[in-house]
Structure 1
């Protein structure tokens, strides 16, 4: 029997039942994982080398960096120039009324503030008891002078009848003629004195110089008045009012007589139509302002001395109108961006006109047919290329 063939090598491990199959499965798993890693790596390097799907080109990337902006052709619109100001309401023609005659004690005051009066209407009466007696005395003197004149005329007529008979000389006729003429002159003197007294008495009454509205009354019955008493009544001629609007020097330069205006008193929502009837020829050197006088028709709400605001339409012009977002400004002034033929932004200096709810009118700098950047102008720089999105502006 050969024992060598049945010897077991002590250095070689013994294999247990089923252990060989498990080892083979482990090696298959490791191999599969390694293969997956290699495939993923190959896919990554393939896509990075350009052999996979192509990414955006350089031109497309540059095009994506060009900003898109909204632009419009503003055209031109009829823009009214509106000037605003404030001031006090006053009577357009205020007439101070005082004592025209010698004065005296006031017996009656016939009007109150707010009353309408006619021309030459009596506002107040002054006592004339003494002056009335003077008038009666002068009236008597007139009658006496008239009687003397009638007697002188009768004597002259009789003398003329006797001259042909030789009973009276021509010299006597001349004397009687002179007597008659002197008597007639005396009548005229007496009549003139009477008329003067009547005129003086009429001046004792305080009368309205013209038709209008009584604004103030500064006299009471029993008061002693004279030519030095000052103003007793103030009357607005025709009831016409005006607003003394204070405006800056630049605003006044564009106004004209006849420009329409709307006046709104403080505390009132109602506006009153008027027009500029006078523009101040001088400027206050301290405030650099002048006065535009706006004529107004009478209304109860227009009280002299009250405060009011005014909107004056100082002409109109055809100008482009832009939204406020389109107009920019810096230390060089106001400007907008317009696009040239290559869609590049070009800075354009402009002069702003009226600013309203409709937008900003451009007084100069634009014709209206340019493509103007409406928004995002603050983020642009001159010469920068943009993608224009043309929009239509609403009128």
Structure 2
């Protein structure tokens, strides 16, 4: 019977031993897995590949695009005419010609009546002066009254004023050469050789374009929302709209900014003074222009480097420990693919321009070349 009991217990003891052994193995495996977890987690921490550029502070401006025409400002046009009737003897210039101050424009011959009026004015002065001298002599001898002397003096003064008025007209006997009053371009010739022109009739128009004065020689139109940022003195860069002038440009400055919206174009007029004497921008040329506004010194960063979220705009820089550092920025200027921003940037740290969408503050990074940065 004892043998029988032992036979019954043996299978139970063996099963128990096996269970204990399995439990021990499971505990050992769990301990090993637990010990390996920190190392595995550290090994699996993501390292983002990025591309960086250097950042620096420099001057940057926000361009405002405008469109207009050369020499369209009335303040820049000079109409050449005569205050007396005359005949055009010879025309010395033609439309489109560039002239300087003093360049002969045309030759005229005053009308006979105008010459006669000028001659009579000179004779009247001579006569009045003689009468004044004679009356003064009689008055000194007691042979003329005070009233007569006053009348003689007034007649002499009136004759002098009439002569001065005739001299201002520039009437001369014979041919006279009329010269350009200022530098510019002959915009329009309204008279031809042999024409009889009346006083005040436009003979030709000059469009100033030498850049030697501060008058506007280019009129541009800008959107009303952009006009407030434009001020006199802002730099203007003209560009040609035609195919032949596509690569041509000229620089100048804003001379005036309109204070109202044009009812026809619904734009605000901006006048610019641009030296055009040696350029292909002749009067009447239609142009586009970039006006540099809000000029200032800021951090210059590529547009791709700036991200935005609920906390505002920010960029990411790489610390010496190869970690991403979030820097809040304020966008001050937009210029094409560049921003001018203010913020606590470090010029010694790389600025992330590619891969920044995958980054968070403090994440490990490496450059696209493989070396941590």
For structure 2, list consecutive stretches of 5 or more residues without a partner in the other structure: 1-27
1:389 aligns with 2:366: yes
Distance 1:78 1:349, change over 3 A: closer
User: Paired residue for 1:376, among 327, 344, 355?
Assistant: 355
Matches for 1:1-395 after TM superposition, within 5 Å: 57-59=36-38, 61-63=40-42, 65-70=44-49, 76-87=56-67, 88-90=69-71, 93-99=75-81, 101-103=83-85, 105-113=87-95, 114-118=97-101, 123=106, 125=108, 127-137=110-120, 139=122, 173-175=142-144, 193-194=162-163, 196-197=165-166, 199-200=168-169, 202=171, 210-213=181-184, 214-226=186-198, 229=201, 231-237=202-208, 239-240=210-211, 242-249=217-224, 251-266=226-241, 267-268=244-245, 269-283=247-261, 289-297=267-275, 298-314=277-293, 315-319=295-299, 321-322=301-302, 324=304, 326-328=305-307, 336=315, 351=331, 353-355=333-335, 360-361=338-339, 363-364=341-342, 366-369=343-346, 374-379=353-358, 386-389=363-366
Deviation at 1:80, TM superposition (A): 1.3
SS at structure 2 position matched to 1:174: coil
Q: Secondary structure at the match of 2:280?
A: coil
Distance in 2 (alpha carbons) for counterparts of 1:137 and 1:350: 78
Counterpart CA distance in 2 for 1:63 and 1:202 is 101
1:118 CA drift (Å): 3.2
Q: Secondary structure at the match of 1:281?
A: strand
Deviations 1:295-328 (A, max 9, x none): 222324231221334444442323252472x444
Question: Deviation of residue 151 (structure 1)?
Answer: 6.3
SS at match of 2:191: coil
Let me know the Cα RMSD of the aligned residues.
5.1
Alignment CA distance shift 1:283-1:343 (3 Å): farther
SS of residue in 1 equivalent to 2:296 = strand
TM-score by length of 2: 0.61
* Deviation, structure 1 residue 94: 2.0
SS of residue in 1 equivalent to 2:259: coil
Q: For residue 4 of structure 2, what is the aligned residue in structure 1?
A: none
- Give yes or no for contact 2:301–2:338 (8 Å, CA) kept in 1: yes
Local SS of the residue matching 2:171 = helix
**Alpha-carbon distance in 1 for matches of 2:163, 2:350:** 89
Cα distance change, pair 57–259 in 1 and its aligned pair in 2 (3 A): same
Aligned-residue offset at 1:211: 1.9
C-alpha separation in 2, matches of 1:148 and 1:116? 48
Unaligned runs of 5+ in 1: 1-48, 161-172
Structure 1 pair 301–181 and aligned structure 2 pair: CA distance change class (3 A): same
Shift of 1:376: 3.3
Tell me which structure has the larger Cα radius of gyration.
1
2:317 touches 2:352 (CA, 8 Å); kept in 1? yes
Q: CA deviation at 1:70?
A: 3.9
CA deviations 1:192-227 (Å, max 9, x no partner) are: 555555555639989568322233211123434335
Give the deviation of 1:138 after TM superposition: 5.2
Structure 1 length-normalised TM: 0.58
More strand by share: 2
